[in-house]
Amino acid sequence: MNGKSPFSAFRISPNYLGGFLYSWEIDGGFNDPAPWVFCVQLGDTADGPWKTISPDLVNVIAWRDRGGKHLYGKTNVLHFRVALRTANGTYFSHPIQPYGDLPRREYLLAREIMRREALRARVLAGTECDLYIRSTFGPKCTFCIDPVTGDVRDSHCRKCLGTGRYPAYFGPHRMMLSFSVDSSHHKANSNDGTHETRMFEALAIGNPVIKQGDVIVDRMRDKRYVVGEASIVSEVRRVPCLQRVGFDEAPLSDPIYRLGQEDSDD
């Protein structure tokens, strides 16, 4: 391990398909160069030995273990941690136990709430989407950050897409959203005149948690949306189960249409 752990949070949440969803956060001051390669590890005790159970996860901050059969032990209490590899070294999160902050009964209740919403979305033609979580940590962009003020100088930067961080977004994270009927309003644009912006609202399961500034991609139509607001509408002991999201359709000129095509050269 190289120095202090950069992990500021590591959580285990119910996966409505069975197994678990693992998610983590990195301290805002950590600035090792990208790419960041994560993997989830399993140990018989908090001290190991450790076995990697996930594939390499490049620039993502959540992973669903859809099977989870190896997670259930009758005689031992399993532990989990996340490993991070960068060009500068390898780091580890603090190990935690399978059900996180929930007793097993409440854990299964939370998973059932999510399962029912996922089933409703499939039956009522929910939309399969990719969630990209806007970076709030990671190396600062070397292309557009003002060295004096720290401000972003180019909202269409080819490297950070105007976020000021690289990678610009963490993802994709596959989700199912139940869209409500959309409404429309007009918004003035200094370059293009007045154009119509379509606003949407949708219901989604509670993990990964969606926040303002995140990007949602409609996989079927390749439409991009920017989250304006998000709120938890159902939780079990403060573990999110369902969330409601409001977002705007992005114009084709928005840099988020270049997600996955960012310039990685320094």
CATH number at residue 71: 2.60.40.10
| In a domain? residue 52 | yes
* Mean pLDDT value of segment 237-258: 91
* Mean pLDDT value of segment 130-153: 89
CA distance 176 to 128: 5
Both structure tokens of 40: 């989830």
- Provide the domain limits for residue 191: 120-258
What was the pLDDT predicted at 162? 93
CA distance 208 to 58: 17
CA distance 53 to 71: 10
Share of the chain above pLDDT 70, in %: 83
Q: Do 140 and 26 reside in the same domain of the chain? A: no
| In a domain? residue 226 | yes
Q: What is the amino acid identity at position 238? A: R
Q: Is 37:142 a contact under the CB 8 Å cutoff?
A: no
Q: Do 93 and 131 reside in the same domain of the chain? A: no
Q: Coil, strand, or helix at residue 87?
A: coil
CA dihedral 136, 137, 142, 147 (to 10 degrees): 80
What CATH number is associated with residue 207?
2.40.10
> Is the pLDDT assigned to residue 18 strictly greater than 80?
no
Q: Is 176:126 a contact under the CB 8 Å cutoff?
A: yes
| In a domain? residue 264 | no
Please state the domain count of the chain. 2
What was the pLDDT predicted at 265? 47
Q: Among 196-205, 214-223, 239-248, which is the least confidently predicted range?
A: 196-205
